[in-house]
Amino acid sequence: MQRRSFFKLAGLGTTAALGAPLVRGAERLIEKPGCVTEAAHAVPVAGEFDVIVCGAGPAGVAAALAAARRGAKTQLIEVHGCLGGIWTAGLLSWILDSSNKAGIMAELWKELEKRGARDMTSKGKGTNAYDTEAMKLMLEDLCTEAGVTVRLHTRVCAALKNAAGRIEHAITESKSGREAWRGKIFVDCTGEGDLAAQAGCGFDLGHPETKLTQPMTLMALVAGLVPSEITEYYHSEETASNWNATKDKLRAEMERGGHSPSYAKPTLFHIRDHLFALMTNHEYGVLGTSAADITRSTLQARKEINALLDGLRGLGGIWKNLRLVVTAEQIGIREGRRIHGLYTVTADDLREGRRHADAVCRATFGIDVHATDPKKLKSIEKAGFRTKAYDIPLRALIAKDVGGLMMAGRNISGDFLAHSSYRVTGNSVALGEAAGKVAATAAKTNRLPQDVKLDEAPS
Ligand SMILES: Cc1cc2nc3c(=O)[nH]c(=O)nc-3n(C[C@H](O)[C@H](O)[C@H](O)COP(=O)(O)OP(=O)(O)OC[C@H]3O[C@@H](n4cnc5c(N)ncnc54)[C@H](O)[C@@H]3O)c2cc1C
């Protein structure tokens, strides 16, 4: 059996007597009313890696693939039982802002097409839809081929830094208990910036004034509909010029069935054959950083989806065979922490179409704020200006407050409005790919990410 090294968590010598202050390095742990204090214990080190990517959504998978392909010993850690994040556990089914992306994003589309997992138009062009189940296997195959070590069912719950403020270990919880993962460079792709927050990074969360975040939505897959009979209710070649009208018609049908959806613009995405994805609820006033909020939202959303679909089916006609296939394992969280980086992408960047010498992604998707306050609006808030295509610089992917830490995906450094644009998954993949490349070179050459250029491969 392999011998495992141990890391003593919190550096506590002995368990302190109840009520006495505990010491972690130079820091004092204050006993708080309503809290318990865990005793110090040794945590086994699960492995040592060049690059550790936390969170395996679109950004995390791309980061891990890019790092491993640059020769880095790469570990990918994911809390769910599959790779893909919102693409799979979240059943999103629709990829935005990907058509101008080369690299891994283009490769993923090609591979989906090869596997017959991308819906094609009558002109032989791919739509934005993909098969969520095929996506799971494809991402696993690609990671295996690239040599990424994958750990599923494992949640990152703490981070340990050295005296110089550089992150050295991520701590996880799983069926195997608590484990430590030693890395040279870490990439936080958890969406909520869990690793960075645990490491002590500064961050912003929600609207700058109200602190409210965009609502959560539970995606669902539905079947039993004949596409040619319901073209006016979903985004297709015929309705592409006025997608809004299809949403309004779908809402009217739901209301005729006896239920008004909490998202005023319910949307059907055609995936393939008779399979559709449905986005129809908004859970307001909840935080993606609160397990209680996520739980309440999930239960409410699942109840609403079932009621809406029962109502539609009850109308008979084109809806009579409508069936709920599955609701997502993970409710979709639009907004989490935006970790402070060496650069903050702002709404001004979008207004001016700003360019950067260290650009890693050209984002073209506009501002898309799902209304935070249902009393004012139940759909999308207007930005007040027209967005121009803009660059996201590498600096927005490098943590300001902690050494050796990068971010990719929706938790990079940006403001509330900018985030609502760059958060879509075509951009997440490009950001992940850039972070993975830079992390690999930094790790292999013993430098910090800010001292590395994107195209600089380790020699
Ligand atoms: C309802 C909804 C609809 C959307 N519609 C679209 C759309 O049509 N098209 C589009 O392109 N984008 C859309 N978006 C936006 C987009 O899906 C997200 O912004 C995108 O998921 C960002 O990718 P990511 O990799 O940063 O995050 P995520 O996909 O959220 O991935 C984060 C991953 O980290 C894992 N994780 C989280 N915490 C931990 C932890 N502590 N330890 C270990 N693992 C962890 C998660 O399980 C997940 O796999 C939508 C979002 C939502 C919520």
Nearest CA to ligand 1 atom 2: 332
Q: Structural domain tally of the chain?
A: 3
Whether 350 and 388 share a structural domain: yes
Residue 21 confidence (pLDDT) above 60: no
Asked whether residue 241 is domain-assigned, the answer is yes
Report which ligand 1 atom has the smallest distance to the Cα of 428: 23
Last residue of a domain, one of 268, 298, 327: 327
The stretch 215-225 carries a mean pLDDT of 98
- For ligand 1, the distance from its centroid to the CA atom of residue 33, given in whole angstroms, is 35
Alpha-carbon distance 444 to 184, whole Å?
9
- Local confidence band at 121 (pLDDT 50, 70, 90 cut-offs): confident
Minimal-distance CA residue to ligand 1 atom 21? 86
User: For atom 13 of ligand 1, which residue has the closest CA?
Assistant: 424
Q: What is the mean pLDDT of the chain?
A: 92
- Residue 1 CA to ligand 1 center (angstroms) comes to 37
Question: Is 299 part of a structural domain of the chain?
Answer: yes
Q: Which of 311, 327, 343 is the endpoint of a domain?
A: 327
Is 24 a residue whose pLDDT tops 80? no
Q: What percent of the chain has pLDDT over 90?
A: 82
Model confidence at 1: pLDDT above 50:
no
Note whether residue 214 is domain-resident: no
Can you tell me which atom of ligand 1 is nearest the CA of 98?
A: 11
86 alpha carbon – ligand 1 mean position (Å): 4
- Per-residue pLDDT, 13: 33
**How many whole angstroms from 418 Cα to the centroid of ligand 1?**
16
Q: Which domain holds residue 13?
A: 6-40
> How close is the Cα of 287 to the center of ligand 1, in Å?
14
For the domain that residue 386 is a member of, what is the CATH number?
3.50.50.60
What would the mean pLDDT of 310-314 be, rounded to a whole number?
98
- Say whether both 224 and 109 belong to one domain: no
Indicate whether 369 and 442 sit together in one domain: yes
Neighbouring-strand partners of residue 77: 54, 151
pTM exceeds 0.85 for this model: yes
User: Could you tell which of 87, 92, 247 is best to mutate to test the pocket of ligand 1, judged by most ligand atoms within 8 Å of the CB?
Assistant: 92
- Both tokens assigned to 161: 């830094």
pLDDT attached to residue 380: 77
Tell which of 327, 356, 371 closes a domain: 327
Tens-digit pLDDT profile for residues 348-390: 999 999 999 999 999 999 998 998 988 877 777 777 888 999 9
The closest of 98, 122, 364, 73 to 228, measured between CA atoms, is 122
Q: Could you tell me if 91 and 195 lie in one domain?
A: yes
Q: Determine the pLDDT at residue 78.
A: 98
Task: Look at residue 400 and tell me if it is in a domain.
Answer: yes
Asked whether residue 1 is assigned to any structural domain, the reply reads no
Question: Which value, in Å, is the radius of gyration of the alpha carbons in the chain?
Answer: 23
Are residues 435 and 410 part of one domain? yes
CB 146 within 8 A of CB 140: no
CA of 288 to the centre of ligand 1 (A): 11
- Answer whether residue 144 is part of any domain: yes
What is the whole-number distance in angstroms between the Cα of residue 431 and the centre of ligand 1? Answer: 13
- Residue 285, domain member (yes or no): yes
Contact 236, 226 (CB under 8 A): no
How does pLDDT run across 247-273, given as a tens digit for each residue? 999 999 999 999 999 999 999 999 999
What residues flank ligand 1, with Cβ below 6 Å? 54-60, 77-80, 85-86, 89, 92, 94-96, 155-156, 189-192, 194, 217, 219, 279, 332-334, 409-410, 423-426, 428
In a domain, 226, yes or no: yes
Determine the atom of ligand 1 nearest the C-alpha atom of 432. Answer: 25
Exposed (0-12), middle (13-18) or buried (19+): which is 400, by Cβ within 10 Å? middle
- Do 66 and 200 lie in one domain? The reply is yes
Q: Would you place residue 29 in the very low, low, confident or very high pLDDT band (cuts 50, 70, 90)?
A: low
Q: What is the pLDDT of residue 2?
A: 46
Residue 267 sits in the same domain as residue 163:
no
Of all protein residues, the one whose alpha carbon is nearest to atom 6 of ligand 1 is 424
What's the pLDDT at 39? 86
- At 37 the pLDDT is 87
Do 312 and 362 fall within a single domain?
A: no
Q: In angstroms, what is the span from residue 6 Cα to ligand 1's centroid?
A: 33
**Contacts of 375 by beta carbon, 8 Å cutoff, 6+ apart:** none
How many Å apart are CA 426 and CA 58, to the nearest integer? 8
pLDDT digits (tens, 9 = 90+) for 400-449: 999 999 999 999 999 999 999 999 999 999 999 999 999 999 999 999 99
pLDDT average, residue stretch 279-308: 97
pLDDT of res. 14 = 32
Assess whether pLDDT exceeds 60 at residue 10: no
Beta bridge partners of 118: 130
CATH number of the domain enclosing 299 = 3.30.70
Atom 4, ligand 1: residue with shortest CA distance? 92
Atom number, ligand 1, closest to the C-alpha of residue 155? 42
Least confident of 70-84, 205-219, 374-388: 374-388
For residues 178 and 243, membership in a common domain is answered with no
**Centre of ligand 1 from the C-alpha of residue 135, in Å:** 14
Checking if the pLDDT of 15 tops 70, the result is no
Is there a single domain that holds both residue 267 and residue 382? no
What is the pairing mode between strands 369-370 and 359-363? unpaired
Verify that 86 and 179 share a domain, yes or no: yes
Q: What pLDDT sits at residue 4?
A: 56
| Amino acid (one-letter) located at 368 | D
Query: Are residues 359 and 253 part of one domain?
Result: no
User: C-alpha distances in angstroms, 225 versus 229, 230, 238, 451?
Assistant: 8, 7, 17, 54
CA of 58: how far to CAs of 47, 424, 432, in Å?
Answer: 24, 10, 8
